[in-house]
């Protein structure tokens, strides 16, 4: 069937940086690779501009990676790979209207991959078209600097490198500032912006809530499988004197030659960094790779507490049932006898087997008992702690758990990233989401409050969490 496509008649949009030409496809105006800033290596982003009309029909460069990706598990999490360049400050837009008075809600996607990898188009499910059309929102996805380009502190070596340890986060703030100034031209409401992300992208949501420079640039947040504690991702403290000194020495430079690091080919720089960073990290020294605690970034809220402004931002936090349970099981759980099931669980829980099976059945009715062995605690427990902490502010705190099972490897439980196609309405793009009969959806969200903490619950795909409000609020299930 022919699709409705138009390029020639699509009007040029005037932005603060210059004019843009996108295209219209099946009711959505689409703009790709829109520059929102420019930055020299290790330096802060600045507003950018261009002459003439920029063709915004091709995705922009993505940030270079420390090592080449190796495709794997593509059936479960299908990816796209794209040309890389460190001048990667660009974003993509999907919108149904170019009317400045439309004032549609805006959602800004921050990609996963920790702070070292990923891109705005890395996963097939990141495409914003269906979310734009079905949700009637303006969708924006952002590329920014990563790894040593985005998170290596050179501030001891000169004022020009001030805050280089947070350059990647400064890029995101610059992107949000561009959105704030320009999104009305794409039918969006700059006063109704939600930032959301999964995994590393979820971490970035919490981080931006801790950056005063981002205040007022977004009004709501959503964290998907993106809450860790100090044991999984400790806060970066200190400065880059030792690691940068070692890097200079490895490359044959003296301290006075620090500016030469700006022009060393990226992969040579990355290789040298990999050699010198490991021994420093082993003894607990700063090596970068994630945002640096300083007067720009106030640190992870689980370790440092939320800033007062962060309590004013409604926040949805969630995780998936299995998270990192990617590996196949050695058995088919759908065919096990009760005795076989108990024997498998007993290998882990021993004398507590019956107690754990009973508690699991109460918490997750309808699940196979062996799923107890893969229920996530890495993300779930910190997510609940973060929700409980944020709920003290009263702006609205919502918690979900994605518990869907998939038609692969004998009803495999939800894994890290498996919820993304459902959030983006892109299950048609991910084969494993082709569930017979479709996904059961609730008629609407059932939002319930217990004192200062709300639990978000949607039947079927999403279920209530087990967080109490810390004020005597009723718990909704067993504390898994």
Residue 254 vs residues 279, 368, 390: alpha-carbon distances, Å: 20, 61, 47
Please give the pLDDT value at position 202.
98
Q: Cα(468)–Cα(476) distance, rounded to whole angstroms? A: 8
What kind and span of H or E run contains 249?
A: helix 241-250
Which residues pair with residue 2 across a beta bridge? none
Query: In the 8-state DSSP scheme, what is residue 182?
Result: H
What pLDDT does 111 receive? Answer: 98
CB 9 within 8 A of CB 40: no
Reading the block at residue 162, the tokens are 């001030």
Torsions phi, psi of 360, nearest 5? -65, -40
* Whole-angstrom distance, CA of residue 190 vs CA of residue 169: 20
- What's the pTM value of the predicted model, to 2 decimals? 0.91
Q: From CA 12, how far away is CA 432, in angstroms rounded?
A: 39
- Residue 299 Cα distances to 215, 292, 307, angstroms: 15, 8, 9
Report pLDDT for 436. 63
Within its chain, how far is the Cα of 245 from the centroid? 32
Q: Which two tokens stand for residue 245?
A: 């000194």
Euclidean distance between CA atoms 197 and 205, whole angstroms: 7
Residue 404 and residue 461 in contact, taking contact as beta carbons nearer than 8 Å: yes
Could you tell me which residues come within 8 angstroms of residue 135 by beta carbon, excluding any fewer than 6 positions away? Answer: 105, 107, 425
What whole-number distance in Å separates Cα of residue 420 and Cα of residue 77? Answer: 9
5 φ/ψ angles, rounded to the nearest 5 degrees? -125, 140
The pLDDT, as a whole number, for residue 38 is 98
Please name which of 400, 415, 418, 403 lies closest in space to residue 368, comparing C-alpha atoms.
Answer: 403
Cα dist. 290→114, 212, 301 in Å? 8, 18, 15
| 221, 226, 230, 234: CA torsion to nearest 10 | -90
How far separated are the first and last CA of the chain, in Å rounded? 48
Nearest residue to 204 via CA among 311, 125, 116, 284: 116
Give pLDDT, residue 162: 96
Tell me what pLDDT residue 1 has.
65
**Distance (Å, rounded) from C-alpha 266 to C-alpha 103?**
41
Residues of the chain with pLDDT under 50: 439-480
Tell me the C-alpha distance between 11 and 24, whole Å.
Answer: 10
């Amino acid at each position: 069937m022919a699709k409705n496509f138009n390029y020639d008649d699509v009007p040029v949009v005037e932005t603060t940086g210059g004019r843009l030409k996108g295209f219209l496809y099946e009711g959505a105006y689409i703009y790709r690779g829109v520059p929102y800033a420019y930055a020299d290596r290790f330096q802060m982003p600045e507003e950018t501009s261009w002459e003439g009309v920029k063709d915004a029909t091709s995705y922009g460069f993505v940030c270079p990676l420390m090592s080449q990706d190796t495709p794997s598990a593509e059936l479960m999490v299908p990816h796209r790979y794209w040309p890389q360049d460190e001048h990667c400050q660009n974003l993509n837009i999907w919108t149904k209207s170019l009317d400045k008075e439309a004032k549609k809600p805006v959602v800004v996607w921050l990609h996963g991959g920790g702070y070292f990898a990923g891109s705005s188009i890395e996963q097939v499910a990141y495409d914003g078209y269906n979310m734009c059309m079905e949700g009637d929102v303006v969708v924006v996805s952002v590329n920014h600097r990563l790894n040593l380009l985005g998170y290596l502190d050179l501030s001891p070596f000169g004022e020009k490198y001030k805050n280089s340890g947070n350059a990647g986060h400064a890029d995101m703030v610059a992107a949000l500032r561009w959105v704030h100034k320009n999104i009305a031209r794409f039918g969006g409401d700059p006063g109704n912006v939600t930032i959301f992300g999964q995994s590393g992208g979820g971490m970035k949501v919490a981080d931006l809530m801790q950056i005063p420079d981002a205040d007022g640039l977004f009004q709501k947040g959503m964290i998907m499988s993106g809450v860790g504690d100090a044991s999984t991702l400790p806060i970066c403290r200190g400065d880059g004197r030792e690691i940068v000194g070692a890097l200079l020495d490895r490359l044959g430079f003296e301290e006075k030659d620090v500016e030469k690091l700006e022009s060393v080919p990226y992969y040579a720089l990355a290789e040298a960094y990999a050699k010198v960073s490991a021994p420093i990290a082993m003894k607990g020294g700063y090596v970068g790779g994630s945002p640096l605690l300083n007067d720009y970034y106030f640190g992870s809220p689980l370790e440092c507490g939320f800033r007062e402004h962060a309590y004013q931002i409604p926040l949805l936090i969630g995780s998936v049932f299995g998270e990192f349970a990617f590996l196949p099981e050695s058995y088919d759980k759908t065919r096990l006898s009760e005795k076989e099931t108990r024997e498998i669980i007993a290998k882990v829980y021993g004398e507590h087997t019956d107690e754990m099976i009973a508690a699991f059945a109460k918490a997750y009715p309808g699940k196979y008992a062996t799923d107890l062995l893969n229920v996530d605690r890495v993300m779930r427990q910190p997510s609940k702690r973060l929700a409980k902490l944020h709920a003290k502010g009263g702006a609205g705190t919502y918690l979900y758990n994605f518990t869907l099972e998939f038609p692969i490897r004998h009803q495999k439980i939800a894994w890290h990233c498996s919820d993304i196609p459902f959030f983006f309405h892109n299950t048609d793009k991910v084969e494993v989401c082709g569930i017979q009969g479709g996904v059961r959806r609730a008629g609407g969200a059932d939002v319930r409050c217990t004192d200062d903490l709300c639990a978000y619950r949607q039947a079927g795909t999403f279920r209530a969490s087990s967080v109490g409000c810390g004020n005597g609020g009723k718990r909704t299930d067993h504390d898994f």
